[in-house]
């Protein structure tokens, strides 16, 4: 009797311990469920923020390229204007040299003209003097012509001497006339030379005026070039400041993206750690409740988990293996267990299934239901019957709101197979 009482007490104590352990494990499961429901949202928000920042970075990159293109154009214009200004400066310097040369030439011609004027005056004086000599000789011969002729006639010793005397008088007269005419020619040549010098000086004066006008125009062009260069420099400084601002903003966004990626990595590590802890808790839960929850074996013949249209089959799709079939239906459509079994896993997979449920049907067969609109209406460790409601259709995870669908997988003995092989 004592032994029986002891056994009863031990049995009751053991049951209490098991109940306490089960309650603790269930509480851990609830905690993990709550954490898992929060973590995907946080991860999703971080990912969305990273995508926004990357889009903003791309926009800034395009704007930076546009600003840089404008800077290059402005710099090209500035260099072109500088080159043009250098040409204008060279032309101005050459014009200065030409003006100096023409000024010196004008001064030289003025000196030559003065010298020619003096020569003209001297020639005129010599001409006047010779003319006066010639006129006096003619007047004297006219006044004393008879005596002179008689003197020449009577003073002659013979006829030959007379002729010689007569020729001599004529020679004197012709020499005086010739000298006078030569002086006139020399004076006229000197005056012509002076006139030529004056014409050359006038041409030089006109050329100097034209050069001075060109000099004035060059000054205006250089002033305009300087103003344009200053304007381009001001615009260039503004564009460079804008470029630096956008580059700084892009660097800030890069730093923010790196920070968020690091946070996302830590969150993923934390999620994996919690997932591992949750799995350990589920394993402990399954082990602790194995006496009260015997294994459930399905029929092996699956039913359609949801009414809808198959939009993607099992097999290769866009270069990747699609391990299930996609059944399209409105958001909120009922999803049922394809066969009886035990729920072995529930949770959220951000890069794939989204919210999902995994059921073990025994005999090595498991089914997975992905892209649910929420966690579902069953929990890990729960036994479900064929056709029992387990969740609702959605587009969580790697799915689009434009095509909400159920991703349905079948795995036999650890190998993915085509679900249609086990569907009616």
Tokens at 424, concatenated? 């009616």
Q: What is the mean pLDDT of residues 328-355?
A: 93
- Number of domains the chain is built from: 2
> In sequence order, which residues have a C-beta less than 8 Å from that of residue 176 and are 6 or more positions away?
130, 133, 134, 137
For residue 131, the tally of other CB atoms under 10 A from its CB is 15
Maximum mean pLDDT: which of 44-48, 323-327, 399-403? 323-327
pLDDT over 50 at 31, yes or no: no
Question: Does 188 share its domain with 302?
Answer: no
Cα angle for residues 155, 161, 162 (degrees, 5° grid): 65
pLDDT over 80 at 158, yes or no: no
**292, 307, 335 — which closes off a domain?**
292
**292, 327, 349 — which closes off a domain?**
292
- 357 vs 86, residue with greater confidence: 357
pTM of the complete model: 0.40
pLDDT over 90 at 268, yes or no: no
Question: Does 223 share its domain with 148?
Answer: yes
CB 341 within 8 A of CB 382: no
Question: Does 166 share its domain with 299?
Answer: no
User: What are the backbone angles phi and psi of residue 351, rounded to the nearest 5°?
Assistant: -90, 0
Segment 35-54, tens digit of pLDDT: 454 455 566 687 788 888 88
The CATH number linked to 306 is 2.70.70.10
- 282 vs 235, residue with greater confidence: 235
CA–CA distances in Å: residue 130 to residues 133, 139, 142, 182: 5, 14, 18, 10
In angstroms, the first-to-last Cα distance of the chain is: 60
What average pLDDT is seen over the chain?
81
State the pLDDT at residue 190: 79
Question: Does 315 share its domain with 241?
Answer: no
Residue-number span of the structural domain to which 131 is assigned: 1-292
Question: Does 370 share its domain with 277?
Answer: no
pLDDT over 90 at 384, yes or no: yes
CA distance 362 to 295: 7
Pairing of strands 341-349, 309-312: unpaired
The DSSP symbol for 422 reads G
Question: Does 122 share its domain with 232?
Answer: yes
CA distance 393 to 397: 12
Query: Which strand (E) or helix (H) includes residue 314?
Result: none
Question: Does 265 share its domain with 301?
Answer: no
Question: Does 222 share its domain with 337?
Answer: no
Question: Does 88 share its domain with 224?
Answer: yes
Segment 196-226, tens digit of pLDDT: 888 888 888 888 898 888 889 889 998 888 9
**292, 323, 357 — which closes off a domain?**
292
State the pLDDT at residue 165: 67
Q: What is the mean pLDDT of residues 302-327?
A: 94
Question: Does 182 share its domain with 257?
Answer: yes
Q: How many alpha carbons fall within 13 Å on the CB side of residue 18?
A: 13
> For a pLDDT cut of 90, what percent of the chain falls above it?
33
Among 98, 108, 105, CA closest to 213: 98
CB 295 within 8 A of CB 383: no
Among 40, 2, 42, 74, CA closest to 375: 40
pLDDT over 60 at 274, yes or no: yes
The SS3 assignment for 141 reads helix
Segment 80-139, tens digit of pLDDT: 888 987 898 888 888 889 888 889 888 888 888 888 788 888 877 877 887 777 777 667
> For a pLDDT cut of 70, what percent of the chain falls above it?
79
What does the longest C-alpha to C-alpha distance in the chain come to? 216
Question: Does 255 share its domain with 395?
Answer: no
CA distance 344 to 249: 48
The SS3 assignment for 294 reads coil
CA distance 292 to 160: 187
State the pLDDT at residue 406: 96
Question: Does 232 share its domain with 326?
Answer: no
State the pLDDT at residue 96: 87
């Amino acid at each position: 009797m004592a032994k029986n009482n002891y056994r009863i007490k031990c049995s009751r104590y053991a049951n209490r311990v098991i109940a306490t352990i089960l309650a603790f494990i269930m509480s851990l499961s609830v905690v993990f469920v709550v954490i898992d429901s929060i973590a995907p949202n946080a991860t999703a928000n971080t990912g969305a923020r990273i995508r926004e920042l990357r889009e903003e970075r791309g926009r800034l990159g395009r704007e930076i390229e546009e600003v840089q293109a404008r800077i290059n154009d402005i710099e090209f214009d500035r260099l072109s204007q500088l080159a043009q200004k250098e040409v204008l400066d060279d032309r101005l310097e050459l014009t200065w040299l030409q003006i100096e040369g023409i000024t010196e030439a004008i001064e030289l011609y003025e000196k030559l003209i003065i010298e020619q004027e003096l020569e003209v005056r001297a020639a005129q004086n010599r001409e006047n003097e010779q003319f006066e000599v010639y006129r006096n000789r003619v007047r004297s011969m006219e006044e004393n012509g008879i005596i002179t002729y008689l003197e020449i006639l009577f003073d002659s010793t013979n006829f030959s001497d007379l002729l010689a005397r007569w020729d001599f008088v004529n020679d004197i007269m012709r020499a005086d006339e010739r000298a006078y005419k030569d002086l006139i020619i020399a004076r006229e040549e000197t005056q012509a030379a002076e006139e030529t010098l004056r014409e050359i000086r006038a041409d030089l004066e006109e050329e100097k005026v034209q050069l001075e006008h060109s000099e004035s125009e060059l000054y205006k062009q250089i002033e305009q070039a300087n103003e344009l260069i200053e304007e381009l420099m001001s615009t260039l400084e503004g564009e460079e400041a804008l470029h630096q601002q956008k580059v700084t903003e892009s660097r800030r966004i890069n730093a923010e993206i790196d920070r968020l990626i690091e946070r996302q990595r830590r969150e993923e590590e934390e999620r994996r750690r919690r997932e591992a802890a949750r799995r350990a808790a589920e394993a402990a839960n399954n082990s602790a409740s194995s006496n009260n929850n015997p294994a459930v074996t399905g029929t092996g013949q699956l039913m359609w988990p949801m009414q809808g249209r198959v939009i993607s089959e099992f097999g290769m799709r866009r270069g990747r293996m699609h391990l299930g079939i996609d059944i399209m239906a409105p958001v909120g459509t009922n999803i049922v267990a394809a066969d009886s079994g035990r729920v072995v896993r529930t949770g959220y997979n951000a890069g794939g299934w989204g919210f999902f449920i995994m059921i073990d049907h025994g005999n090595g067969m498991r089914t997975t239901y992905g892209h649910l609109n929420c966690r579902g209406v069953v929990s890990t460790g729960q036994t479900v019957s064929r056709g029992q409601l387990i969740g609702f259709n959605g587009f969580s995870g790697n799915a689009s709101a434009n095509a909400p669908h159920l991703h349905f997988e079948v795995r036999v003995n650890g190998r993915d197979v085509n679900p249609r092989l086990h569907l009616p």
